[in-house]
Chains A and B, each alone.
Chain A
Amino acid sequence: AQSVAQPEDQVNVAEGNPLTVKCTYSVSGNPYLFWYVQYPNRGLQFLLKYITGDNLVKGSYGFEAEFNKSQTSFHLKKPSALVSDSALYFCAVRDSRFGGATNKLIFGTGTLLAVQP
C-alpha cells in the first residue's frame, strides 16, 4: 500500500538551532515527494519537491529536504530555525498507481513545528 508517515506529531526547537521534520514513504516505482507548510487558518503552501536527480532539494524560506532512497525517507531541514517557521508541515507523495497517470497526492498526518524564542 502506498503511504506517507510523519512519525512526530510535534517537533520543538529553539530559535537559531537546526530543525528536522521527518517523513518516510512507501510507494511503488519512483517517488515524487513534496513538502507543504500550513500556517494557522491558511491553506497549504508549497515548499519544495523531489522529482529526480540531486538528493538534496532546496526550497522556499531556506528549507531543504534530503531524499534517501535506501531509507525511503525525505526529511525536511533548515540550518537555523526562526520563530516564524512555527507551523504545521505536511509531507506528500504522488500516487504511483495507474502508471502515475493521475496527480493524486497521498499526505502524511502532519507535524507541528514549534520554535521557541
Chain B
Amino acid sequence: DAGITQSPRHKVTETGTPVTLRCHQTENHRYMYWYRQDPGHGLRLIHYSYGVKDTDKGEVSDGYSVSRSKTEDFLLTLESATSSQTSVYFCAISESIVPGTSLDTQYFGPGTRLTVL
C-alpha cells in the first residue's frame, strides 16, 4: 500500500466521543488526503493537505478537522462522533498535483473502519 499506514485499523466508539485517526507515510509526498467510503456514494473527499500546516476542506468536511504538523503524518479528528460518521476512512498521498504527469496519481492506505454506536 505504497508506504502508507493507518491507525487504528478498526475502532468502535460511542456517540459524542472524540476520535482521531492517523495516517502515516514513508514516501515523503507533499500532498495527503482523507476520504470516506460509504455504499452508494463511492469515495468522498473530507479534507486534504498540500503541505505542513496547509490544509483545506473537501466535499464532506462538516464534523471533521485535520492537522498536519509533519510531512509524514496527517490526522483526522471527529470532535464529537455521530452515527452518520460510521464509515471506512481512507488516507491517500500524491507527490504532486500537476496534471499530466505520473506524479499526481493518488495512492491509498489500507483504511480504518469506524463504527459509532
Using an 8 Å CB-CB cutoff, how does the interface string of A84-97 with B read, 1 for contact, 0 for none? Answer: 00000010101000
Q: How far is the CA of A104 from the CA of B58 in the complex (A)?
A: 8
List residues of A whose CB falls within 8 A of some B CB.
4, 32, 34, 36, 41-46, 49, 51-52, 90, 92, 94, 100-105, 107-110
Q: Is the CB of B111 within 8 A of A94?
A: no
Using an 8 Å CB-CB cutoff, how does the interface string of B78-117 with A read, 1 for contact, 0 for none? Answer: 0000000000001010101101100011111111000000
Q: Is the CB of B100 within 8 A of A44?
A: no
Q: Count B interface residues, CB 8 Å.
A: 29
Q: Is the CB of B43 within 8 A of A90?
A: yes
Q: Is the CB of B100 within 8 A of A51?
A: yes
Q: A44-B90, A103-B97 are in contact. List 20 more A-B contacts (CB 8 A).
A: A34-B105, A36-B108, A41-B111, A42-B110, A43-B1, A43-B90, A49-B105, A51-B99, A51-B100, A94-B99, A101-B97, A102-B48, A103-B31, A103-B33, A103-B48, A103-B106, A107-B44, A108-B42, A109-B42, A110-B42
